[in-house]
């Protein structure tokens, strides 16, 4: 009997539904549908299952994070503008035993100073940014590679500084 395939939840936050139209100089010309198709193709090639959601609403993102327990082996999350403000998403990510990786299409450190702090990233095992769609692809590949590794081992493998 073979093991179940890794299951990864991908969450796109606010305004990502406008990819391809919104500031293409920053976010590129790829649409959300095209990004999602590339993630589904990559997941299939890795023998993984991917479920993808987008919401402009903080509570909906939190509900999906809470619902990940027992249903998913990892979360790829782009919290959009909530990255810099949402203690609630941070707390949701910390409250579930599912490793998460925060992703961003753009490099936050090459943007306005208000984007230089990630409230949500500290609750994740890693952050990948500035590589366009490849940020998502790298996060998905890493989470698939962790399949079968405990959350404790995943967190230990990704050292980070946490505020006390």
Q: Catalytic amino acids?
A: 27, 104
Provide, for the chain, the percentages of residues in helix, strand and coil under a 3-state DSSP scheme, each rounded to the nearest 5. 45, 15, 40
Cα dihedral angle (144, 135, 108, 86), rounded to 10 degrees? -40
Confirm if 160 and 122 have CB atoms less than 8 A apart: yes
Q: Helix 32-46 and helix 133-145: axis angle, to 10°? A: 30
How many other C-beta atoms lie within 10 A of the C-beta of residue 18?
13
Burial of 94 (0-12, 13-18, 19+ CB in 10 A): middle
DSSP state of 15: T
């Amino acid at each position: 009997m073979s093991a179940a395939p890794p299951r990864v939840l991908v969450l796109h936050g606010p305004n990502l539904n406008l990819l391809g139209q919104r500031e293409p100089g920053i976010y590129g010309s790829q649409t959300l549908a095209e990004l999602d198709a590339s993630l589904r193709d990559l997941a299939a090639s890795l023998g993984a299952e991917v479920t993808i959601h987008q919401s402009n609403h903080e509570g909906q993102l939190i509900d999906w994070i809470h619902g990940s327990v027992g249903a998913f082996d990892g979360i790829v999350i782009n919290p959009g503008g909530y990255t810099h403000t949402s203690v609630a998403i941070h707390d949701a990510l910390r409250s579930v035993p599912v490793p998460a990786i925060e992703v961003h299409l753009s490099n936050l450190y090459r943007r306005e100073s208000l984007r230089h702090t990630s409230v949500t990233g500290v609750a994740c095992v890693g952050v990948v940014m500035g590589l366009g769609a490849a940020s998502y692809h790298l996060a998905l590949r890493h989470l698939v590679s962790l399949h079968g590794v405990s959350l404790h081992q995943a967190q230990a493998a990704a050292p980070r500084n946490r505020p006390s």
